């Protein structure tokens, strides 16, 4: 029989403590209660909980600082329960290591659902489809079986939620993952509109895994979501593959842009514009006065850099 789930409640409101404790106990969870922040470190040493329910406004401690301290001591799931509703408070708590944030008053059924979602992230179910055991992109190696990530041979510390999000990217390289998809898979049903979660956690993964002057791992698709970079062998094969002309009028596939490629295309566009003779054009969205250089529709540089025909 599996061990009971241990939930640590850090809350000074006795009514909330009684309500949450009774509902968790009925469902077979073990509950530990702490009404202040002074004993958190010792509590975590004596018994490691599976989930921490943390109030931000405690009489003897700053909840944000306590959240940071818990995250430094443990990878336990942290759900903030607070009357503070400002988005800045939510983002700050998530940046300090919280896995979820609920505002008071809250429904007990929603709280139980969020606890279960946090536990699913820390105890992932076996994947239905076969997954690669190790994914390597540049100098980043993601060991999905051992839940271990290294960059340049050095171990990178990730929280449970960060690794759960990274797993979704690692098993779907090059695939557009929408905000709603990521939120549903990592945080659970009901989170599809909480896009600040994905923004915060992708930013944290970028800070830990991307190099300042290297190729990006996480590619933002505006108003849609993100794509993860292709694994190293696929990127090498793509770089070595000879370019072929498009069939008919179908546009050729182009690799993702980098700052260097963008500058080169812009320079080519300027040179192309200067080399072509002026020609009048007075209709269409690019209508111009007589004497304005017109870009050739087939110029790939113009397609990218000057707003020409797409």
CATH number, domain of 51, equals: 3.40.50.2300
Q: Looking at the domain assignment, is residue 249 inside a domain?
A: no
Residues 90 and 150 in one domain: no
* pLDDT number for residue 130: 60
Q: pLDDT category, 111, cuts 50, 70, 90?
A: very high
User: Is pLDDT of 235 > 60?
Assistant: no
Is residue 139 within 8 A of residue 152, CB to CB? The reply is: yes
Q: pLDDT category, 44, cuts 50, 70, 90?
A: confident
Cα dihedral: 172, 176, 179, 180 (round 10): -80
Q: Residue 220's beta-bridge partner residues? A: 226
H/E stretch holding 52 reads strand 51-55
Q: Which of 186, 218, 234 is the last residue of a domain?
A: 234
Q: Looking at the domain assignment, is residue 78 inside a domain?
A: yes
Dist. CA 82–CA 97, nearest whole Å: 15
* Range 190-216 average pLDDT: 92
User: Is pLDDT of 55 > 80?
Assistant: yes
* pLDDT number for residue 3: 65
* pLDDT number for residue 103: 94
Residues 88 and 165 in one domain: no
Q: What is the CA radius of gyration of the chain?
A: 26
Q: Show Cβ contacts of residue 102 under 8 Å, excluding neighbours closer than 6 positions.
A: 79, 80, 81, 82, 110, 111, 114
Report which of residues 46 and 18 the model is more confident about.
18
Q: Which of 81, 99, 122 is the last residue of a domain?
A: 122
Q: Looking at the domain assignment, is residue 247 inside a domain?
A: no
Residues 226 and 296 in one domain: no
Residues 104 and 17 in one domain: yes
Q: pLDDT category, 87, cuts 50, 70, 90?
A: very high
Residues 187 and 273 in one domain: no
Residues 149 and 214 in one domain: yes
Cα–Cα–Cα angle for 107, 111, 116, rounded to 5 degrees: 150
Mean pLDDT of the chain: 77
* pLDDT number for residue 209: 95
Question: Which of 149, 159, 171, 165 minimizes the C-alpha distance to 225?
Answer: 165
Report which of residues 302 and 232 the model is more confident about.
232
Residues 225 and 144 in one domain: yes
Residues 145 and 118 in one domain: no
Number of domains comprising the chain: 3
* Range 38-52 average pLDDT: 80
* Range 199-226 average pLDDT: 92
Dist. CA 208–CA 199, nearest whole Å: 14
* pLDDT number for residue 27: 87
User: Is pLDDT of 211 > 60?
Assistant: yes
Domain with 218 in it: what CATH number? 1.10.10.10
Q: Show Cβ contacts of residue 104 under 8 Å, excluding neighbours closer than 6 positions.
A: 16, 81, 82, 83
Q: Looking at the domain assignment, is residue 97 inside a domain?
A: yes
Q: pLDDT category, 297, cuts 50, 70, 90?
A: very low
Residues 99 and 42 in one domain: yes
Its domain, for residue 152, covers 134-234
* pLDDT number for residue 189: 82
Q: pLDDT category, 291, cuts 50, 70, 90?
A: very low
Q: Which of 89, 122, 155 is the last residue of a domain?
A: 122
Q: Looking at the domain assignment, is residue 251 inside a domain?
A: no
* pLDDT number for residue 268: 46
Dist. CA 116–CA 29, nearest whole Å: 11
Residues 113 and 138 in one domain: no
Number of Cβ within a 10 Å radius of residue 2: 5
Residues 25 and 90 in one domain: yes
* pLDDT number for residue 34: 86
User: Is pLDDT of 221 > 80?
Assistant: yes
Q: Looking at the domain assignment, is residue 243 inside a domain?
A: no
Among the ranges given (56-60, 83-87, 222-226, 257-261), the one the predictor scored with the smallest mean pLDDT: 257-261
Q: Looking at the domain assignment, is residue 276 inside a domain?
A: yes
* pLDDT number for residue 231: 72
Q: Looking at the domain assignment, is residue 253 inside a domain?
A: no
Residues 200 and 283 in one domain: no
* pLDDT number for residue 157: 95
* pLDDT number for residue 155: 95
Question: CA dist 97 to 34, 52, 164, 170, 273, Å?
Answer: 19, 12, 14, 22, 52
């Amino acid at each position: 029989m599996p061990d009971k789930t241990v939930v640590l409640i850090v809350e000074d409101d006795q009514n909330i403590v009684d309500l949450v404790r009774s509902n968790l106990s009925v469902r077979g969870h073990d509950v530990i209660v702490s009404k202040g922040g002074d004993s958190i470190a010792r509590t975590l040493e004596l018994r490691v909980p599976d989930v921490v329910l943390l109030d931000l406004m405690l009489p003897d401690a700053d909840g944000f600082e306590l959240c940071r301290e818990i995250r430094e001591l443990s990878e336990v799931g942290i759900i903030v329960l607070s009357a503070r509703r400002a988005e800045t408070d939510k983002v700050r708590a998530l940046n300090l290591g919280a896995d979820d944030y609920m505002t008071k008053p809250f429904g007990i059924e929603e709280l139980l659902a969020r606890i279960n979602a946090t536990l699913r992230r820390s105890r992932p179910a076996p994947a239905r489809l076969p997954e690669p055991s190790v994914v390597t992109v540049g100098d980043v190696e993601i060991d999905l079986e051992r839940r271990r990530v290294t960059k340049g041979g050095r171990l990178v510390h990730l929280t449970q939620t960060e690794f759960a999000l990274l797993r979704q990217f690692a098993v779907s390289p090059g695939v557009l993952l929408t905000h709603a998809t990521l939120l549903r898979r990592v945080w659970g049903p009901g989170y599809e509109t909480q896009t600040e979660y994905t923004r915060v956690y992708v930013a944290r993964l970028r800070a830990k895994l991307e190099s300042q002057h290297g190729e990006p791992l996480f590619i933002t698709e505006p108003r849609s979501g993100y794509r993860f970079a292709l694994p190293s062998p696929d990127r090498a094969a793509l770089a070595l593959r000879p370019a072929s002309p498009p069939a008919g009028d179908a546009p050729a596939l182009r690799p993702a842009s980098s700052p260097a490629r963008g500058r080169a295309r812009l320079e080519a566009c300027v040179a192309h514009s200067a080399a072509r003779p002026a020609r009048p054009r007075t209709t269409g969205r690019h209508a111009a006065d007589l004497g304005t250089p017109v870009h050739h529709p087939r110029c790939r540089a113009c397609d990218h850099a000057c707003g020409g025909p797409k």
